[in-house]
Amino acid sequence: MAKYKMAIIGYGGMGGWHHASVRDNVKSFEVVAAWDIREEARAKAIENGLHAYNSLEELLEDKEIDLVTIAVPNNFHKDLSIACLRSGKNVICEKPVTMNADELREIMQVQKETGKVFSIHQNRRWDRDYRCIRKIIEDGTIGKPYMLESRVQGSRRSMVGWRGHKVNGGGMVYDWGVHLIDQMLDLFDSPVTSISAHLFNIFSDGVDDNFKVLFRFENKVSALVEIDTNCFITQPRWHMSCTDGTAVIEDWDLNGKMVKLASDEQMTWDNDIVYTSAGPTRTMAPRPRETTEELALPEVNPQWSEYYENIAGVLDGTQELIVKPEQALRVMTVIDTIFESDRLGKPVECRI
Ligand code: NAD
């Protein structure tokens, strides 16, 4: 029997996903109930074997519940998180945790007052592509990274429902951007010192549907984060330039490779001009093949269920929280600065 009881607020796409994923993968929590403002969603919860509350207050008063997962549109995250914490519940809030850093500070103040656990569902820290990039950096196989490009690109031009409305926290910076920014900040223990954001409204009304953001970290690493919903020829999920080689991860299935300087590499070829179809060049002519080595990407096998099991470990008093509010505050401060950079139309210097 699971040790802790859990309820879900917002039984839509992601709320239903939390229910099924916790039921099928997480030992420590049992999802027992849900609250949603829509009657159809409450009916769906009942159909799926849950108790459906008739009001938010009923959930807040339910002393059986140890943990509430909040999966509603982004503009409701702050008030619901605070209400749940104040009612004595531990809380997981979906990403983006809030609409801005100040809202998160309000939640963090209440978290301190109540002493309850508060975490943010940054589940993409358990994505295989991200863990693979992390492992390449940790192993140092191709040297030290200096430029990373992290992209998710699609062409469906879909900003369905609340995701198309600014008031609800729609747009791609909040939707996918927050994941890729969280991953990037999680990679480097170094402050972000400048942000240059380019947000685009190609087909939607009032929210960013495509964006590119260039970051500079104090440790001299730079990073490009890009989300497109209007991209018909895609680029690799990750491209990482390191001092001794390059890594490419093409897609979520982990197709890709590393190419590094051969270990016995010497500048043995003639330093003559090479005649290419683009004319003569020394610097950009292809390298002799034997001077490089192609390597497979490292194996990684992250388990997303670790996210929820970690929350149980924190409740047991045996583990430290993995996804911390302080980390999310850094992410939200970056997001605030992205919007500022785009509004000003120029890079913004910062220390985040
Ligand atoms: P959705 O529209 O499918 O579902 C939202 C549900 O919340 C709906 O059933 C709606 O009726 C309900 N709702 C709205 N306002 C409410 C309120 N005030 N109180 C109670 N219920 C309310 O949206 P979704 O795709 O499930 O997204 C929900 C949240 O999950 C968002 O914050 C989104 O960013 C996040 N999300 C996270 C991931 C991830 O990978 N971590 C993926 C998708 C969505």
Instruction: For residue range 152-199, list pLDDT tens digits in order.
Output: 999 999 888 999 999 999 999 999 999 999 999 999 999 999 999 999
- 267, pLDDT greater than 60: no
Ligand 1 in reach of 36 Cβ (< 6 A)? yes
- Give the whole-angstrom CA distance, residue 182 versus residue 328: 8
Query: Is residue 283 classed as helix, strand or coil in its secondary structure?
Result: coil
- Give the whole-angstrom CA distance, residue 161 versus residue 60: 28
How far does the centroid of ligand 1 lie from the alpha carbon of residue 44, in Å? 15
DSSP letter for each residue of 224-279 = EEEEESS-SS---SEEEEETTEEEEE-STT--EEEEEE-TT----S----EEETTE
Ligand 1 in reach of 126 Cβ (< 6 A)? no
Locate 32 and state its tokens.
């027992």
pLDDT digits (tens, 9 = 90+) for 99-155: 999 999 999 999 999 999 999 999 999 999 999 999 999 999 999 999 999 999 999
Ligand 1 in reach of 169 Cβ (< 6 A)? no
pLDDT digits (tens, 9 = 90+) for 195-250: 999 999 999 988 999 999 999 999 999 999 999 999 999 999 999 999 999 999 99
Which distant-in-sequence residues (6+ apart) come within 8 Å of 137 by Cβ? 145, 187, 240, 242
Q: 25: exposed, middle or buried (C-beta count within 10 Å: 0-12, 13-18, 19+)?
A: middle
The H-or-E segment that residue 128 falls in is: helix 128-139
How far does the centroid of ligand 1 lie from the alpha carbon of residue 134, in Å? 29
User: Which residue, 158, 156, 166, 157, is CA-closest to 205?
Assistant: 166
Q: Which of 8, 9, 11, 14 to mutate to test the pocket of ligand 1 (most atoms within 8 A of CB)?
A: 14
How far does the centroid of ligand 1 lie from the alpha carbon of residue 76, in Å? 9
Measuring from atom 2 of ligand 1, which residue has the nearest CA? 12
- Give the whole-angstrom CA distance, residue 166 versus residue 179: 19
Locate 309 and state its tokens.
């099991």
Q: With beta carbons less than 8 A apart as the criterion, state whether 181 and 153 touch.
A: no
- 263, pLDDT greater than 90: no
- 269, pLDDT greater than 70: no
Q: What is the pLDDT of residue 160?
A: 85
- Give the whole-angstrom CA distance, residue 39 versus residue 322: 35
CA dihedral 179, 35, 11, 48 (to 10 degrees): 140
- Give the whole-angstrom CA distance, residue 90 versus residue 56: 15
Q: With beta carbons less than 8 A apart as the criterion, state whether 297 and 254 touch.
A: yes
Question: What number does the ligand 1 atom closest to the CA of 161 have?
Answer: 2
pLDDT digits (tens, 9 = 90+) for 291-306: 899 999 999 999 999 9
- Give the whole-angstrom CA distance, residue 273 versus residue 296: 32
